[in-house]
Amino acid sequence: MTGFSDPAAIELLHGMLRIPSPSFAESELAGHVVEAMRGAGLTARIDGAGNVIGEIRRGPGPTVMLLGHMDTVPGDVPVRVVGDRLYGRGAVDAKGPLATMICAAAGSTGFRGRIVVVGAVEEETTMSRGAVEIRRTHEPPDALIIGEPSGCDTVVLGYKGKIDLRYHVRCEATHPSNVVPKASELAARAWTELLELLGPEASHARFDSPGPTLTSINGELTDATAEFSIRTPPSFDGERLVTALSERSAPGTLQVVNAVRACRVGRNDPVVRALSVAIRAQGGSPRAKVKTGTSDMNTLAEEWTMPMATYGPGDSSLDHSDREHIKLSEYLFGIRVLTRALTELDGHLTREGR
């Protein structure tokens, strides 16, 4: 098989949406994706972490990796088609982009080289174990495209980083009216101290500013825990922040649960250019943007430095929502864009000798 017809591409995504795959429970979907890849002409397997790895080689040439994720946040969005809209948990984040990658790889007859398609596990978790395993076990490809909802005419150049913190404090038992600080109060105070350290410009609305979130706070007078997540811009000094917050939040203990740096490429990155050319070839007007969230692009960019960018159909404002859906016309547009982009990228990488 050399590609998916439009109805077959829609059925691929529809079938993926029918299989629930919240983080840590992706195995049923993984088996389904393996069979879909094999039916499309890719060799496919499941690795030790539970990631699906599909490959297709069309002669000597560069290696391009297309990496999306299979897991979703919890929650049921009934799978249904309403006009041009396909509803379902993961339609946007990120089964739609992953299905786009499978279809593009299968239809990429203009590409001369090796395409690796990865359906990663646990992207929606703190540790991104799937992408970490790919980084550990695979040679760096010549180019990398991450599958996340950018919008079918838009390329994502980068993401904020992230620091996940856990603050825990214990206090001696005392009467609520005692003037000494209680554990619950100290946990709340640690959040206030974090906001003060980040300053009044902290915001999730801007790429160049840190954005804090109070993820959870639990406890009572003698024992309390608070969890914070800070989205960080490039060059942010995370170690300095953690040291300062630790000093201010005594007598509790502050633990760094996970940290990943921000990442960003330029508009002249070969992957960005290939995607932009492909969008224009399909009649679109290519745009570029950065995102204030975090993705597996951050995890891989920690150690990989090849050309890379993020692309995928879908409106990211619908991520994790009960209204999550993808427009089928945009999904099919995205498949055509990514298929053409692979051909463009092959030519560029071959000229560069990669």
* Crossing angle of helices 6-17 and 27-39, rounded to 10°: 160
Helices in 60-128 by DSSP H: which ranges? 95-107
User: How far is the C-alpha of 342 from the C-alpha of 58, rounded, in Å?
Assistant: 12
Beta strands at 154-159 and 287-291: parallel, antiparallel or unpaired: parallel
Q: What is the dihedral of CA 10, 12, 17, 18, to 10 degrees?
A: 110
CB under 8 Å to 318, separation ≥6 — which residues? 91, 92, 93, 149, 324, 325
Residues taking part in catalysis: 71, 123
- Bond prior to 251 in cis (omega within 30° of 0): yes
- Helix crossing, 238-248 with 183-198: angle to 10°? 140
Helix (H, G, I), strand (E, B) or coil at 163: strand
Q: Which long-range contacts (CB under 8 A, 24 or more apart) does 107-110 make?
A: 107/2, 107/3, 107/4, 107/335, 107/339, 108/56, 108/58, 108/339, 108/342, 108/343, 109/2, 109/3, 109/58, 110/339, 110/340, 110/342, 110/343, 110/346
SS3 45: strand
